[in-house]
Structure 1
Amino acid sequence: MAEIDGGINDYEAQRRANIERNNALLRDLELANLGAALGPTAISSSSGSKRRATGSPGVKPTVKRTTKTQRPKQAVEVLPRRTSARLAGIEPESEKARVKAETEYVALQEAEKEARKRVGGDIKFEDLSSDKIAQLWTFDDDEPDSTETKTSEIAGDIVQLRKEMSGLKLYEKFEPNDIKITPERVYTIGFHPSASKRLVFAGDKIGNLGVWDIDQVKSEDDEEFPQTYLFKVHARTLANFAFAPSITSKIYTASYDGSIRCVDFVSGISSEVYYGTLGREPDAVSELQFADANTLYFSTLDGEVGRLDLRTPKDITKYRLHDKKIGGLSLHPNAPYLAATASLDRSMKLWDFRKIESLESGELQPKFLSSYDSRLSISCTSWNNEGSIVCNGYDDTINIFNLKDSTNWDVNFNAPEELTPSSKIKHNCQTGRWVTILRSHWQRNPLDNVQKFVIGNMNRFMDVYTADGIQLARLGDSDLIRAVPAACQFHATKNWIVGGTASGKVCLFE
């Protein structure tokens, strides 16, 4: 290899030239980055409600409502920080450092365990004063609306039905981002059955029960905010709730902490009506349904269904229906001895509780009627008052079963061993880890006499379908609804729909 002046060969000269060229490029990049840092910057916000500086490319402006208010800042609890081993004079990797780390870890574990500990017995909501109860629980009607007196005739024109449902408007008083009903992810949501006072209830991932009094506001510093209430009733996920048929001032809640509680909004007391354990772990309750004013059915994550008589709450009967988790339980509204269950074992099954059988294991089981087997897990099942069942699951399919003659089934009726859907709808149900499982729910007693159900949409909408699988509406607002309203529900009689998101916020269409 030839040498040049100074004894440097061609290879070394080329290497030095490359180094100098790379250094020049780095100097140019540093100057460019410095200029960008001195220029206009994006405005950031933890809530995501603020926008970038005016003129930023690719940002779609948000249409803001004139009634939008800013949520008051909440007090943040300052927790003690971990102490520094260096400042404490502890040598790294020493025995003293190891003991300190283990002590801190145990303390954190105990604090988390204490936060998840179930509270038994009665809970008195001391912060809910009598005047607040009077304001919250004031109704013009003591009972839910009756379909016998308020049923209207419909023409059956699908175009008109779509026009009516698609015409539902997003609640205008406050934006969805300002209506925070629970501190954590909404797992279940629904309306109080009354139509005179509009109340929305939601259960979250850590056992809170949130209440939104829709038509009331609270004022702070001359600004208006949604009137909400929050009650800590469980130690783990509040999975489902139901109102007592005869006393609508009481709401019964089911939780993964293994308990069912009754919250009485007149007395302001939450009382425990059931607690079950499976070995050392709680017998997590996934859903509950009233068969009548005194009889409550509930499902567990162990594949059982329990029957509880509220007059004798210690007299509980359990039935083995599945080998795996039951995620959905529904009783026929007009024949409550008929039940449908949806399970992680990829099946939906129908049962008749008028006839109870004993298994070889000694466990009890109602008469098996029929089943539908899916490719993947089935998340929920819902039975409407005309006899149709809707279920959906992880196979991205909504299935509707027309069983309108089910009220005529006698105790000896032999149903087909396998159910066949009358309608199938493709629907994305892949929610992932951080979004609540999508569940389809019928409107309980529609005043317009149209059987319809609602289910969340992963594109931040809520979809409404008829019992024939015809889509009536896709409700949403891409500018104002910023998360998936995964938990959603109709009002029992009115065409009002509410949805809850992973951030504990709600959107209402009315």
Structure 2
Amino acid sequence: MVQLSAYDKEREANIARNKALLQQLDIKQAVSDLDLPAKQTTSTKSRAKPVQPSKKRKVQHEVEEPVRRSSRRLTRSQAQVDPNETPKERKKREAEMAEREAKEAEEELQREEAARLAKRPRHNELDLEILIGDDEDAKTEIPSLRTNVFQPATSQPFPKGVGDIDAYAFPENSKKHEGAVKELQEQMEELKVVSRAKVTQDRIYSAAYHPEPTKDLVFFGDKHGQLGIWDARAPTEEAGNDEEDVGESPDLKEGGKYWRFQVHWPATSKSSISVIRFNPANSHNVYTSSYDQTIRSLSFTSGISTEVFSSEESGELPTGMDLTPDGHVMWVSDTGGAITHLDLREGPSQSRRYKVSDKKVGCVSVNPTNPHFLLTASNNKMLRIWDVRKLLKMSSDLAVKSEDEDDSASYPMDFDDDAVQTYYQSAKGKGIDRGSWKHGQSVSSAYWDPSGRRVVSTSYDDTLRLWDFNPSVFSQAKEFPSLRPIHERNHDCQTGRWLTILKAQWSPNPDVYPHFTVGNMKHSIDIFSCKGDVIARLVDPKRITAVQAVTCSHPSVVQRVASGNGSGRCVLWAPASAME
């Protein structure tokens, strides 16, 4: 008998242990591969698979294949040629091929030009049929828009209300102030959600309430250049159906009637509508400024959208826009830190652009009672009050000269930072800057109230600030004695990337105690008086589950507030009796 070594004994023991382990695990194939003796094993029980989470069915969108260039040389080489063709036939074939190639090249250039134009802003006049797009069902609603919205809006002039600069000038602790605040609180306590609808397809960026007193016509601009017109109290049966509302309770269904128009192009975030303003003289047309570098005017009488300004020459995006009470002059702020003066009677070629900040000017506001006082809010943390009479007197010799002297007259005058600073420090420019106040962070908005004596600002330092100026300072030719706010109030303004910046908006109604609205990160709308008193906090957890970032108020009806959120859904706040 062969004597096994210690190594062989250890090896045999390992093999025996492995065989026993494989048998216990019922791995038959492995056992057979190891030449194990056949043994009866227990049958393996089948195990049920765990329940898989249901996958949402993805909607397959047709993706249009991009037009690809093809090599004409390869096409010619692959073409079958008759080896027996005569020289005359060959010459004819080559001529036909050259003609076909020239035609294909021309068609390809046309396609490329059409694709290029599709990504650029539209500068031509656009009617409602073009603005509404390819939706044939929506086009059938245009007559309803003309009848129910445009005709009432143009039935008579609805000028922007301008307040008395001496009205409501009550001391903070006076009984008149307390009485006015209490009366306003009682009125605002009655506001409820009476109508809601998804007026635009994307995030609301701006809003404006039309002054027509018998209707609630609210205009909303969204992130992709779409203008939504909402008749918020239109009868329910006239409201368009929305698949999102199927199965909802009556309280959550959409109300009113809305129309959507692609006023700015392309329909991307490059065309966000930053500001909406009505013609202050009669409210018969609406102005919209957009990041597509254009400002357009939609006429309610003709239904035509016309471009009134383009900033393509400067390359900057319009961030703010306001008009003088007569509707003749427009001021535009931009991302380059400049403000532009545009006389709508002269045309854009006569505009004058002034570089007044080293960072973006995000907001501009014209004083309604003293239109030569302009308010700007900038990312350099500064709020400033300008006397534009001084700006407009700047000599054209200080403007940046165009490289092409022949065409220089057709371009707007551009006064860069050096020109403005030089003029500012000169004797002629003295008093151009009437006052400034430095905030803790960027100033996202600042507006004059309807009387032209009060200012409210919103800043990323999470503070709302209020000013109330003595009317006498507007008649002086020197800096305001002080720009210290009369009230400061903490307010969360950290909206982040996915929400529209919060901007406090004065009620445009000059016949009521001055107050303003502002969105709240806790899904409410806050209403404050011109002294900082809390008037109301509009909230409805059942119907409002998103931040109401954009707000506006009716210019002539006290108990009306509208708001919009990041999905394009808009809300009308009014007394319940308004729907009766």
Give me the TM-score of the superposition, normalised by structure 2. Answer: 0.66
Q: Which secondary structure does the structure 2 equivalent of 1:479 belong to?
A: coil
Instruction: Tell me the alpha carbon deviations over residues 138-176 of structure 1, each in whole angstroms, 9 at most, x when there is no partner.
Output: 326532586889x999871644533322321111xx4x3
Q: Is the 8 A contact 1:461 1:475 kept in 2?
A: yes
Taking structure 1 as reference, are residues 188 and 45 closer, same or farther at Cα in structure 2, changes over 3 Å only? farther
Taking structure 1 as reference, are residues 378 and 78 closer, same or farther at Cα in structure 2, changes over 3 Å only? same
Instruction: Tell me the alpha carbon deviations over residues 295-350 of structure 1, each in whole angstroms, 9 at most, x when there is no partner.
Output: 11111111111111111113212222211111111122211111110001111111
Aligned to 2:331: 297
What's the CA shift for 1:132?
3.5
Aligned to 2:342: 308
Q: Which secondary structure does the structure 1 equivalent of 2:537 belong to?
A: strand
Q: State the alpha-carbon separation in 1 of the partners of residues 13 and 182 from structure 2.
A: 90
Q: State the alpha-carbon separation in 2 of the partners of residues 77 and 193 from structure 1.
A: 45
Higher-Rg member (1/2) = 2
Q: State the alpha-carbon separation in 1 of the partners of residues 190 and 553 from structure 2.
A: 15
Aligned to 1:66: none
Aligned to 2:440: 375
Aligned to 1:349: 384
Q: State the alpha-carbon separation in 2 of the partners of residues 298 and 147 from structure 1.
A: 21
Aligned with 1:484 (options 547, 550, 554): 547
Aligned to 2:418: 361
For the pair 1:188 / 2:206, whether they are aligned, the reply is yes
For the pair 1:216 / 2:234, whether they are aligned, the reply is yes
Q: Is the 8 A contact 2:455 2:466 kept in 1?
A: yes
Where do residues 21-40 of structure 1 align in structure 2 (5 Å cutoff)? Answer: 34=50
Aligned with 1:421 (options 482, 485, 496): 485
Q: State the alpha-carbon separation in 2 of the partners of residues 310 and 147 from structure 1.
A: 21
Q: Which secondary structure does the structure 2 equivalent of 1:161 belong to?
A: helix
Q: State the alpha-carbon separation in 1 of the partners of residues 57 and 377 from structure 2.
A: 41
Aligned to 1:226: 256
For the pair 1:323 / 2:380, whether they are aligned, the reply is no
Q: Which secondary structure does the structure 2 equivalent of 1:361 belong to?
A: helix
For the pair 1:161 / 2:184, whether they are aligned, the reply is yes
Q: Which secondary structure does the structure 1 equivalent of 2:336 belong to?
A: coil
Q: Is the 8 A contact 2:240 2:257 kept in 1?
A: no
Where do residues 63-212 of structure 1 align in structure 2 (5 Å cutoff)? Answer: 78-80=61-63, 115-126=118-129, 127=139, 129-130=142-143, 132-139=145-152, 142-144=157-159, 156=179, 158-171=181-194, 174=195, 176=196, 179-212=197-230
Instruction: Tell me the alpha carbon deviations over residues 259-282 of structure 1, each in whole angstroms, 9 at most, x when there is no partner.
Output: 111100211100111112245x3x
What's the CA shift for 1:420?
1.3
Where do residues 330-345 of structure 1 align in structure 2 (5 Å cutoff)? Answer: 330-345=365-380
**Aligned AA for 1:467?**
C
Instruction: Tell me the alpha carbon deviations over residues 64-120 of structure 1, each in whole angstroms, 9 at most, x when there is no partner.
Output: xxxxxxxxxxxx99432679xxxxxxxxxxxxxxxxxxxxxxxxx999965541000
Taking structure 1 as reference, are residues 45 and 444 closer, same or farther at Cα in structure 2, changes over 3 Å only? farther
Structure with the largest fraction of helix: 2
Aligned to 2:132: none
Q: State the alpha-carbon separation in 1 of the partners of residues 389 and 114 from structure 2.
A: 47
What's the CA shift for 1:129?
4.4
**Aligned AA for 2:63?**
P
**Aligned AA for 1:287?**
G
Unaligned runs of 5+ in 1: 21-29, 47-75, 84-108
**Aligned AA for 2:503?**
R
Root mean square deviation, CA, Å = 4.1
Q: Once the two structures are aligned, what percentage of the paired residues are identical?
A: 27
Q: State the alpha-carbon separation in 1 of the partners of residues 545 and 13 from structure 2.
A: 68
Aligned to 2:410: none
Aligned with 1:390 (options 456, 469, 474): 456
Q: Which secondary structure does the structure 1 equivalent of 2:188 belong to?
A: helix
Instruction: Tell me the alpha carbon deviations over residues 4-56 of structure 1, each in whole angstroms, 9 at most, x when there is no partner.
Output: 998469xx9xx99xx99xxxxxxxxx97x947x69xx9x9999xxxxxxxxxx
Q: Is the 8 A contact 1:145 1:195 kept in 2?
A: no
**Aligned AA for 2:465?**
N
Instruction: Tell me the alpha carbon deviations over residues 232-253 of structure 1, each in whole angstroms, 9 at most, x when there is no partner.
Output: 1112111102111223121111
Q: Is the 8 A contact 1:391 1:400 kept in 2?
A: yes
Taking structure 1 as reference, are residues 216 and 362 closer, same or farther at Cα in structure 2, changes over 3 Å only? same
Q: State the alpha-carbon separation in 2 of the partners of residues 271 and 117 from structure 1.
A: 16
Q: State the alpha-carbon separation in 2 of the partners of residues 263 and 192 from structure 1.
A: 14
**Aligned AA for 1:79?**
E
Q: State the alpha-carbon separation in 2 of the partners of residues 482 and 160 from structure 1.
A: 29
Q: Is the 8 A contact 1:332 1:339 kept in 2?
A: yes
Q: Which secondary structure does the structure 2 equivalent of 1:335 belong to?
A: coil
Aligned to 1:86: none
Q: Which secondary structure does the structure 1 equivalent of 2:456 belong to?
A: strand
Q: Is the 8 A contact 1:238 1:254 kept in 2?
A: yes
Q: Is the 8 A contact 2:473 2:480 kept in 1?
A: no
Aligned residues: 435
Q: Is the 8 A contact 1:123 1:271 kept in 2?
A: yes
Q: Which secondary structure does the structure 2 equivalent of 1:437 belong to?
A: coil
Aligned to 1:252: 287
**Aligned AA for 1:276?**
S
Taking structure 1 as reference, are residues 6 and 480 closer, same or farther at Cα in structure 2, changes over 3 Å only? farther
Aligned to 1:91: none
Q: Which secondary structure does the structure 2 equivalent of 1:409 belong to?
A: helix
Structure with the largest fraction of strand: 1
Aligned with 2:569 (options 501, 505, 510): 505
**Aligned AA for 1:203?**
G
Taking structure 1 as reference, are residues 122 and 457 closer, same or farther at Cα in structure 2, changes over 3 Å only? same
Q: State the alpha-carbon separation in 1 of the partners of residues 150 and 340 from structure 2.
A: 31
Q: Is the 8 A contact 2:159 2:282 kept in 1?
A: no
Unaligned runs of 5+ in 2: 1-8, 27-46, 67-111, 130-138, 169-175, 247-253, 266-270, 399-416, 575-580
